[in-house]
Chain A
Amino acid sequence: MEFRDYYQILGVSKTADADEIKKAFRKLARKYHPDVSKEPDAAARMTELNEANTVLSDPEKRAAYDRLAAGGQGHRAGQDFRPPPDWNAGNEYSGDGMSADEAARFSDFFSSMFGGAAGGPGGNAGGRAGGRRTRGAGEQQMRGEDHHAKVVIDLADAYTGATRAINLRAARLDDSGHVVTDERTLNVNIPKGLKEGQHIRLAGQGSAGFGGGPSGDLFLEISFAADPRYRIDGRDVTAIMPLAPWEAALGATIEMPTPSGNVQVKVPPDSQAGRKLRLKGRGIPGETPGDLYLEISVVLPPADTEAARAVYETMAREMPFNPRVAANTAKGA
């Protein structure tokens, strides 16, 4: 495993006081917060910052880390590292210790340092919901923590349902109290009719409980893959429907691809660009299915041949039409 230089991660000196560490963490947390950061590795950096802050903002953990880092010939970030046996003997952490699950979200380095020792399964001073137990209450039953994951689906999946393989990383304590990380794959049924931001709850797929307590749940948050063809608002879907000028002007019956397959659409005559046709109930399915809106976009064929140019010239001659005047008249109406 690689040694982690928490001071370097937060950009502070080894003599930084608690206030400096707090300021450095907040500054970087703002920069890398996944909700606002444009950095491609924001989520990973945020986890790294949380890990460094968890250690350096806790005087007991920081002291233990400093002792460890000062041992041997000193350690550098990224250097291969093995903690000496029983290095943690005698260290006692209090307060907001890490659960095995929290430790697992951080690096292997952190997990091996603090994951098992910092209060074991649970380890918090109680009170917080979500898979905690009070230190020393060894036989107390406790529900495992809930887990969260995001699942990106295509809009078509919301129409038909799908199955997705979800890779999960979770931690548990082995018989000797050390954190071990398990990776597993769940094949999850994605039901049809899902909306953006909706959750699927998989009961019992979170962390294992303690003392015979029930396992936590796994929450999957659904988001749709960006698709330039569609705009989604709840269960309503809007698609651009490109039309040739004669289809828009004269009306036509056309075949239009939609998320649920091709449909025949009757376009009324004099259909202007921007006008929407509503196909009731053809949005995302559900108890009250959404509607599919087809927004007309008139696409001009290029005047790149003699024949095409002649057609445009005929139109210009035969049709006294000024779109600026038409637009003003429409506005004034």
Chain B
Amino acid sequence: MNANNDSIISGVLIDETTLTIVELANACSVEYTWVVQHVEDGQLERTDGAVNAAISRADAAEWRFASAALIRARRLANIERTFDANAEVAALVVDLLEEVAILKQQRFAQRRQ
């Protein structure tokens, strides 16, 4: 493999284009069914314009995911793997981590004032 590549490469901005369920599963090193299950259980959100519509496995190939879902899915998978945690506990932990991140941002903003 080349040691250095001087040319400048450009990528695709996720959110302008979104990830399919297979792409999300690949990016998180999880099975396709893992993503389906977590969407059905409300632990991962889609951004395909049908978030409030009834979730149907048959439509899973049409589901789309944004950057926030990728971050959340990787965290969920990591917590589940590291602690052998069930999906609900992992989701609770990730919810709390997200809440902590928001509070830290608010505290940073307050300190600055």
Residues of A near any B CB (own CB < 8 A) = 22, 26, 29-30, 33, 35-36, 50, 127-131, 143, 145-146, 148, 163, 170, 172, 182-189, 191, 193-195, 197-203, 205, 216-221, 226, 228-229, 231, 238, 240, 295, 297
Contacts and interface: CB of A to CB of B under 8 A. Distances in A.
B8 A129 contact: no
Given A130-B29, A148-B74, A189-B8, 13 more contacts: A30-B83, A145-B29, A187-B5, A188-B11, A193-B13, A200-B13, A201-B11, A201-B13, A202-B9, A205-B9, A231-B108, A238-B109, A297-B113
Interface in B58-79: 67-68, 70-71, 74-75
A200 B4 contact: no
Chain B contact-residue range equals 35 or more
Contact of A185 (B5, B14, B31): B5
A203 B26 contact: no
Nearest to A220: B11
A191 B105 CA distance: 24
A193 B15 CA distance: 11
Contacts of B92: none
Contact of A219 (B70, B75, B112): B70
B11 A216 contact: no
Contact of A128 (B27, B31, B67, B68): B31
Interface in B63-109: 67-68, 70-71, 74-75, 82-84, 97, 100, 105, 108-109
Contacts of A195: 15, 67
B7 interface: yes
Interface in B15-32: 15, 22-23, 25-32
A189 to B, nearest CB: 4
Nearest to A35: B97
A54 B15 CA distance: 35
Contact of B3 (A183, A203, A238): A183
A197 B30 CA distance: 21
A170 B30 CA distance: 20
